[in-house]
Amino acid sequence: MASSLIPAGDFRTSYAVDTTIFPTVTSRNFAIAGVVLCALAPFALNDYWMSMLIAIGIYGIAALGLNVLLGFTGQISIGHAAFFLFGAFTSAYLSSKMGVPAFFAIPLSGLVTALVGLIFGLPAARLKGLYLAIATLAAQYILLDFFARAEWFSGGSVPASAEPFSIFGYTFTGDHQYFYVVLAYVVVSFLLVTNMMRTRDGRALIAVRDHYLSAEIMGINLTYYRTLSFGIAAFFAGIGGALYAHYQLVVSYEGFGIERSVLFLAMVIIGGLGSVMGTLMGTAFVVLLPEAMEWLSAALRGGVIDQTLGLKNNITFVREIAIGVIIIAFLVFEPDGLAHRWHQIKAYWKFYPFSH
Chain residues that interact with other proteins, rule: CB under 8 A: 1-3, 15-16, 18-19, 192-193, 195-196, 198-204, 206-207, 209-211, 213-222, 228, 232, 274
CB-wise, 121 or 274, nearer to other proteins? Answer: 274
| Long-range contacts (CB closer than 8 Å, 24 or more residues apart) made by 28-32 | none
Minimum Å distance from CB 7 to other proteins?
A: 15
Nearest to 229 by CA among 139, 120, 143: 120
Minimum Å distance from CB 208 to other proteins?
A: 9
Helix axes 338-351, 258-271, angle to 10 degrees: 20
CB-wise, 49 or 224, nearer to other proteins? Answer: 224
DSSP state of 5: G
Minimum Å distance from CB 277 to other proteins?
A: 16
Minimum Å distance from CB 210 to other proteins?
A: 4
**For 79, phi and psi rounded to 5 degrees?**
-125, 20
CB-wise, 15 or 333, nearer to other proteins? Answer: 15
CB-wise, 100 or 222, nearer to other proteins? Answer: 222
State how far the alpha carbon of 311 is from the alpha carbons of 46, 283, 291, 305, 326, in Å.
32, 30, 20, 8, 20
Minimum Å distance from CB 213 to other proteins?
A: 6
CB-wise, 54 or 193, nearer to other proteins? Answer: 193
Contacts of 102 (CB under 8 A, 6+ apart): 91, 95, 162, 163, 164, 165, 166, 246
CB-wise, 42 or 202, nearer to other proteins? Answer: 202
CB-wise, 138 or 192, nearer to other proteins? Answer: 192
How many other C-beta atoms can be found within 10 angstroms of the C-beta atom of residue 269? 22
CA distance 266 to 247: 23
**3-state helix vs strand vs coil in the chain, percent to 5:** 75, 0, 20
CB contact at 8 A, 279 and 63: yes
Cis preceding-peptide flag for 290 (omega within 30 of 0)? no
Minimum Å distance from CB 124 to other proteins?
A: 16
State how far the alpha carbon of 157 is from the alpha carbons of 145, 148, 160, 258, 333, in Å.
12, 7, 9, 19, 43
How many other C-beta atoms can be found within 10 angstroms of the C-beta atom of residue 254? 12
Minimum Å distance from CB 350 to other proteins?
A: 16
CB-wise, 206 or 300, nearer to other proteins? Answer: 206
Minimum Å distance from CB 19 to other proteins?
A: 7
